[in-house]
Amino acid sequence: MRIIWSADAWEEYQEWLEPQRKKDLKKLNGFIKEIRRGSFYEGLGDPEPLKYELEGWYSRRITLADRLVYRVSDAGDLEIAQCRGHY
């Protein structure tokens, strides 16, 4: 499974690399590993399907304020749209 980052999501991910965000980065990377192992729509982070213009995408809670927004494409790739903020 390839990971495809939106330009914004990749920039947001780089912000998680700051030393004081180490715990949250570990959590985010754990979600990505879990999704890549096949737990697309269940597991840690309270995965929930999104609605309206984000239908087909899911979110997982990284922190109270930050969410991982992703989907698994028909080709089986993990597409990440966001990993900071609350859609």
Beta strands (DSSP E) in the chain are 3-5, 48-49, 58-61, 67-72, 78-82
Rounded Cα–Cα distance for residues 73 and 69 (Å): 13
Active site residues: 48, 86
> What's the length of the chain?
87
